[in-house]
Amino acid sequence: MSLERLDKVLASTGRWSRREVRNLIREGRVLVDGLLPAGAEEKVEPETACITVDGENLGYRRYTYILLNKPAGLLSATEDTRQRTVLDLLPPEFRRIGLFPVGRLDKDTRGLLLLTNDGALAHSLLSPKRHVDKVYEAWLSAPADAEDVAAFASGISLGDTRCLPAGLEIGTDPVHVFVTLHEGKFHQIKRMFISRGKTVLSLRRIAMGTLQLDTCLSEGEYRYLSEQEIAELNTIKQK
């Protein structure tokens, strides 16, 4: 638990600029535990204090965690001078609080993308040492077979690097497959299949660590992670 300045806590929600926050406090619209604060610099314990603005609970969270069902056609980045990024799908306050995508999906890859401003969690999920599983669903130009499964399991060679063993599960239609990676190399699945003489026609991520793509989310939609999902992801951080 740590004490923080009231204006900083309010601004960290991304809902108001620093100046707007100072005005809210000056106008007496902010209460801390039911009392008017002494000023913008008053120190509060943001996770336990009851902070209200115009009578509404602030609902403070130190970090924000968003699950986005990424559509094709957007970059997994916070900004780009020419192309649209996944942040363009979210309200502007998410940019203000420093949300960023945890890892990258190719522009044409769809599916699960976690966005957060929790740098430590992002770091653990992406750390090559932790080998966090990522599961993808792919549609191929030609049927996958048992030899592909064996090649993926023994580690595909991509030019000068060798991939870690990966899971390949063939669906009822053999052009529809599920790939489990424990690492994240550039265009990895597409390149793994190219090395097997097959092209990935469509790619969608459906899981990352303990987090699953929510089938209720249409492409382009997002939601906050539940407390349980956050707790489960944090177990990866502690490993």
- By the criterion CB under 6 A, which residues form the site for ligand URA? 105-106, 109, 136, 187-190, 203
Measured CA to CA, the distance from residue 52 to residue 72 in angstroms comes to 39
> Which residue's CB is nearer to ligand URA, number 46 or number 111?
111
Long-range contacts formed by 147-156: CB under 8 A, 24+ apart: 147/196, 148/196, 148/198, 151/195, 151/196, 152/179, 152/192, 156/192, 156/195, 156/196
At 48, list the tokens.
């336990």
Question: What sign for the dihedral angle of Cα 218, 62, 116, 79?
Answer: positive
CB of 173 to ligand URA, least distance (A): 20
Select which of 88, 106, 133, 145 is catalytic: 106
> Which residue's CB is nearer to ligand URA, number 49 or number 105?
105
Residue 106 known to be catalytic = yes
> Which residue's CB is nearer to ligand URA, number 127 or number 226?
127
CB of 72 to ligand URA, least distance (A): 10
CB of 104 to ligand URA, least distance (A): 7
Task: Answer for the pair 155, 163: CB distance below 8 angstroms, yes or no.
Answer: yes
Give the residue numbers marked as catalytic.
Answer: 106
